[in-house]
Structure 1
Amino acid sequence: MSGTRILCCHVTTATLSFAVLYLIGNVLKLVNIILMVSLDKEAFSVTYHEAKDTRGQRVFDISTNILMLVLMSISAVLVLFSKRKGPMFVLPFVLMMFVELSLSFLYLFDGAWGLPGTPNYRDMLQFVKSVRRVDSLNEEEIGHFTMSYSVLYMLFVLLKVYVLHVSMRCFYFLKAESMAAVSVDTGNTVTVKLPSYDEALKMRAEDIPPSYHEA
């Protein structure tokens, strides 16, 4: 992981910025979930099916989504202290970004792996229908929508890859900086006082090594 700058800012500054944005986004998602639960809305439906989830499935989805958002929020908060506390405070954010990226790829094959806040094909399609005030779209409109959704979702995934890359570079930079600081603080040098010619002859005769001390 070479280089300490990304685009126009330092990797630590970029990681802090991403962590703040993720923290704000996660808090908003948590508030949205809590409001949906409190209003008793059927927000978690089985993707690509008309039938709703059972009560147990809905509770499980809500619980796992809240847990994921809480863990992501905690990891984002830890990044804010990484400059003073060291690279280990960035590592949870890196791990959570890796998990989120993995789930985003799995979502392409099965909608059940979708994270809270992940753009859902069915929900986006319903949104487009409501905006256009139509009950259904024709084949050409469906094709355009599918292509647009695919491009936007891939950009969404690439953004996650970029954030993961930046956070890893920040981790390695802070790790190298911490190791350099430790080596400077604890580094000892050993100096040897060379004897004179007469002392060397005397020590050679007595087999006494030269004296040394730590500076």
Structure 2
Amino acid sequence: MKIRVVLADDHPIYREGLARSIAEGEDFTVAGEAASAAEAVALVEAARPDLALLDISMPGGGIAAAAEIHRRFPEVRIVMLTVSEADHDVMAAMKAGAVGYVLKGVSATELLAILREIAAGHSHVSPALAARLLTAMQASGKNDAAPGVQDLTRREEDILRHVARGLSNKEVAIALGLREKTVKHYMTTILEKLRARNRVEATLIAREAWGDGT
């Protein structure tokens, strides 16, 4: 089954080229294109895609679109594709429900690889941006990595280590011999203990505490 993607960008030439690049992936299909936040939300409602690929700087705002899509269609995985490297944009996107933040400088091949990972349940933030995001999180005083990680039970730590390696809830469940619903329950508790808003932030905290090898 192909991965269905809707994309929203207010630059027609870029959007058309992006649509062609995605359609060239044998396991992808473009379910629709939009040029504004309102159009993006309406398109997601009509097409119910697997992924919503959104630009930040389009009419109505990509982050506002992400928040509305996440609220109404939480099963749709949201990816921001943007030129913005601003910390506040990355953090706002994650808070809005995005599970991917990709800079427009990536090649078509890289983008398709990232989208495949996200469709499989993983998350993605450019490594350089991830390091800055963690710094911004810590500077804001919202997260204190070490105490939060130390508060985890052994089972919670095992699950977080797997998540930090890029595994989806289903993959973690298989690896640890648990039900997927049980992993989701543990992840809710883990996020609360780490004061993280989503698994992307939890992954960053884990990598800061344990290193990239987790």
When normalised by structure 1's length, the TM-score is: 0.26
Instruction: Name the structure with the higher helix share.
Output: 1
Higher relative contact order (CA 8 A, sep 6+): 1
When normalised by structure 2's length, the TM-score is: 0.26
Larger Rg: 1 or 2?
1
Instruction: Name the structure with the higher strand share.
Output: 2
